[in-house]
Structure 1
Amino acid sequence: MKQVTIDPSFWELFPDAQINILFANGIDNHDTDNNYDERKKLLANATHEADKFLTNETFRLNPVVDQWRQAFQQFKKKKGARSSIEALLKRANQGRKFEPIEPLVDVYNSISLSYGVPVGIEDRNKIAGDLHLGAAKGGEAFRPVGAEEDEPALEGEVIYYDDEGAVCRCLNWREAQRTMLTEDSQNVVAVMEAINPEQIERANEAMEELSKLINQYFGVNASQVYRLTKDQSVAEVPDNL
């Protein structure tokens, strides 16, 4: 994988959006007892921080939830698909605890909860060709995490995709087994979507904090943050990463 490209078909739907991109190499994502308690505390603190996005007793009326539901109405989607940040906020709203899973997953879930933004991280070594975000032609191969059968993308659905199929369906709803993080993942790409100015401000802060946590937990320096817009829609993996 050499670059991330946001296709014109995405900007036609979301002309004011911004996609933040971050690359990192040399991650050791093996679960370890060494920082298990620290990661548990990180997730607990993030769950508490998420309360500021859950001020309305009616869950769907909270702005972060409502804004992403409206966004998902702009494209063809699988019935019941919701943004990843809604799924996390729903768990927090129900009083459920987040237990550590894998170090990098814990880190990006904590960022998502703390800043109210969707965050996804994929294994770059598993991306076939380059990574794109745009409207699906329909039929792109996709086997979601935990599934045993293919669930191909719908025509007009907004997806992340590569040369072999969909990487994440319905913008940020569900990722593919093929490119998901595992304990053996080392070289990664982080993506964060924002669709209005207020979200963009939070996403910019969130991505900088993600970079700091990657350094803190894994001892590696991530790339600069690439802020992609309709006027600058490509982020190349730096040679000196």
Structure 2
Amino acid sequence: MTEPSTLERLLEGAWVEAEVFALRPDYRAVLLAVDGLVPGPSDAAGEALLQAAEAATAQALADRPVEELPHVAAWREAYRAFGAKPQRTRNSLEALLRRAGNGLPRVNRLTDLYNAVSVLHRIPLGGEDLAGYRGAPRLVRATGAEAFDTVAGGAPVIEHPDPGEVVWCDEAGVTCRRWNWRQGRRTGLREDTTTALFVLDALAPMTDEALHAAADELTDHLTRFGPEVRVARRLLAAGTTPEHGD
């Protein structure tokens, strides 16, 4: 089991490149590093959360399309700013909202939880296995040379992000492409994940209070995943953390 100080050191090493804040000065992220998780299949508590998320989505989309939800619209604008086409590569929040009408995926209790919290709070939220990490997470604009370990046509492949694309990385390569579009295979959550990193991404008009409320709910639910669950937390925002790439 990872010591609490190890989780905190990992988050202390996380950073956001200045060029990302130049693109979106309103960007903020809460990072949660979690240890002591007991893996398990989808369960009744997760099912209740997913059903609540599906019902909330149906209500939110009763009178407008998903792309007009304020936080979805903000992320579409951010994608365009670094050259992505949001109608083709949808951020993780929009992708889940579009699936909710036909039923959100049921994967395992950890994935079910963070998907439900993402939809309920309308925030892009990624979960990754810290056992696959090499060093601390960082958010940068890619050079295009970075490695991204993924699957294409059912086979493992190494791809590369577009130059200027916003990507999460560690020392071994890209862990998530296009800010919060697609996660890599190397750090993906697994059936036996016991230590994880969660990234909650926010842009205006989402407030700091709403961002922290989502992180609080995720943290509260994670405590039921084992008697020794420990959580370290950090906010990344412009002006609150040293920036790299100046």
Give the secondary-structure state (helix, strand or coil) at the position aligned to 2:159: coil
Inter-CA distance 189–59: structure 2 relative to 1 (3 Å threshold): closer
The one of 102, 109, 115 aligned to 1:103: 109
How many corresponding residue pairs? 229
Partner of 1:152: 160
For 2:58 and 2:209, how far apart are their aligned partners in 1?
19
Q: Which residue of 2 aligns with 1:12?
A: 22
1:61 to 57, 61, 68: 68
Offset of residue 50 of structure 1: 2.5
Residue among 193, 208, 219 paired with 1:185: 193
Amino acid at match of 1:133: L
Once structures 1 and 2 are overlaid, which stretch shifts more, 143-152 or 225-234? 143-152
- Any conservation in 2 of the 1:112–1:119 contact (CA below 8 Å)? yes
Per the TM alignment, residue 141 of structure 1 is displaced from its structure 2 partner at its CA by: 1.0
TM-score, normalised with respect to structure 2: 0.85
| 2:40 corresponds to which of 9, 26, 30 | 30
Q: 1:184 to 1:8 in 2, by over 3 A?
A: same
Does residue 174 of structure 2 align to residue 166 of structure 1? Answer: yes
Contact 2:149 2:158 in 1 (8 A): yes
Distance 1:143 1:53 in 2: 35
Query: For structure 1, which segment, 167-176 or 196-205, has the greater mean C-alpha deviation from structure 2 after superposition?
Result: 196-205
Which of 94, 113, 121 is the matching residue for 2:119?
Answer: 113
Single out whichever of 186-195 and 54-63 deviates more from structure 2. Answer: 54-63
Maintained 8 Å contact 1:22/1:222: no
Q: Superposition pairs for residues 122-161 of structure 1, below 5 Å?
A: 122-144=128-150, 148=155, 149-161=157-169
**Which letter maps to 1:127?**
Y
Q: How does 1:60-79 map to 2 (within 5 A)?
A: 60-77=67-84
Q: Does residue 40 of the first structure (1) align with residue 50 of the second (2)? A: no
How far residue 224 of structure 1 moved from its aligned partner, in angstroms, is 4.6
Give the superposition deviation at 1:74. Answer: 1.1
Q: Point out where structure 1 has 5 or more consecutive residues left out of the alignment.
A: 235-241
Tell me the alpha carbon deviations over residues 27-74 of structure 1, each in whole angstroms, 9 at most, x when there is no partner.
12232xxx6233222211121123354244333223232221111111
Q: Provide the rounded CA distance (Å) in 1 between the counterparts of 2:227 and 2:151.
A: 28
TM-score (norm 1): 0.86
8 A Cα contact 1:161 1:167, kept in partner: yes
Which consecutive residues of structure 2, in runs of 5 or more, have no partner in the other structure?
Answer: 1-8
Other structure's SS at 2:158 match: coil
Aligned to 1:227: 235
Query: 1:164 & 1:201 partners in 2: Cα distance?
Result: 34
What secondary structure, in the 3-state scheme, does the structure 1 residue paired with 2:200 have?
Answer: strand
Q: Does the CA contact (< 8 Å) of 2:66 and 2:97 recur in 1?
A: no
Q: Within 2, Cα distance between the matches of 1:165 and 1:19?
A: 20
The separation in 2 between residues aligned to 1:219 and 1:52, in whole angstroms, is: 36
Q: Secondary structure at the match of 2:169?
A: strand
1:238 is matched with: none
Q: Secondary structure at the match of 2:14?
A: strand
Indicate the RMSD between aligned Cα atoms, in angstroms.
2.1
- Percent identity, please: 29
Give, as a single letter, the amino acid of the residue that structure 2 aligns with 1:117: I
- CA 145–49 in structure 1, closer or farther in 2 if over 3 Å, else same: farther
